[in-house]
Amino acid sequence: MLRALLWDVDGTLAESERDGHRVAFNQAFEAMQLPWRWSAAHYGTLLRVTGGRERLLADMAGRADAPALAVEREALARELHRRKNAAYAELVRAGAVPLRPGVRELIEEAAAAGLAQAVVTTTSRANVQALLKRHFGGSPCGPFDLVLCGEDVAAKKPDPEVYLRALAALRLRPPEALAIEDSPGGVAAARAAQVPVVVVRSEYFAADTVEDAVAIGPGLHTRQGWSPPPHGRCAADGRVTLADLRRWHAGMEHVSQFG
C-alpha cells in the first residue's frame, strides 16, 4: 500500500536549475567581478556533478584563470556559493521560479487523502526553504511532514542516505513510499534505498538514460507521453492524479525510456 510521497526539489517541484540556480551563479560571478558566465548548455554539463559548491570546484578545475591553489579554490567556491544562494532566494521571492504545472494539485490531492509527504533532496536548506516559503507559506516545512536537505546527510545523491533517513523518520518500509524524481542521480539514490520511483522529465534531464522506474513521463501536468500510460478516469484538467500514482506503484513494473 502506498503511504507516502517523497519529493525531489530541483527539476521536480520546480525547474529551479534552469530558472534559478544558473541565473544566480552568473549573478554571483558578476558581483565578484569574475569574467565567468555559465551558458545553459555548460550548466547542463555541470549538473552531472551533485552540489553547487562541488560544481564550482569542477568548473574551476578546467579554468586557466581560476586560483592555482586548492585552498584558494575552496575559499572562492564557498564565497561564490554563499552569494549564489542569496541571489537565488531573491529570484524565488520575485516569482522567477514557479512550481512545475501539476505539482501543487498533486500535493494537495495527496494531503487530502492522508498520505505522508516529504522533501528528500541534497540541495541546501536555504534554497529549499526559500522555495517552500514562496509557494506554500506557513511553517518552514510548508505542506510537508518532513524536509531533508543536504545539511542532513554526509553523502549527496546518488548516495541513498537521504532516502534511508526519510524512511526511518517516517517509519516506512521502502515499498510503502513512492519517490518523484527527475534525474538519473536521484533515481539511483531512491532505487539504492529500494524505493520505487516515478520520473518527471525536466529541462536538463529530458533525454538522459533512466531505467528502473515504475513510470516515466514529461511532467505531472499531462497524461500524454507516459510509459506506462495512465489508465482509468482522468482529472478534468488532464493532469496526472494520485490514482495514477497508486496504479503505477501497485504495478511495480520497472520501465525505462526504451519501453
Place 51 in a pLDDT band, splitting at 50, 70 and 90. Answer: confident
pLDDT per residue over 141-198, tens digit each?
A: 889 999 999 999 999 999 999 999 999 999 999 999 999 999 999 999 999 999 999 9
Domains and CATH numbers, the chain: 4-16+98-251 (3.40.50.1000), 17-93 (1.10.150.240)
Q: Is 10 one of the catalytic residues?
A: yes
For residue 258, name the pLDDT band (cuts at 50, 70, 90).
Answer: very low
DSSP string, 150-212: GGG-SS-TTSTHHHHHHHHHHT--GGGEEEEE-SHHHHHHHHHTT--EEEE--GGGSSS---S
- Strand arrangement of the beta sheet that strand 146-148 belongs to: 146-148, 116-120, 4-7, 177-181, 197-200, 215-217
Q: What is the largest CA-CA distance in the chain?
A: 60
| Interstrand relation of 177-181 and 197-200 (parallel, antiparallel or unpaired) | parallel
pLDDT more than 70, % of the chain: 96
Which residue among the candidates 8, 59, 182, 244 is catalytic per the annotation?
A: 8
Asked if residues 61 and 68 have their Cβ atoms less than 8 Å apart, the reply is no
237 is catalytic: no
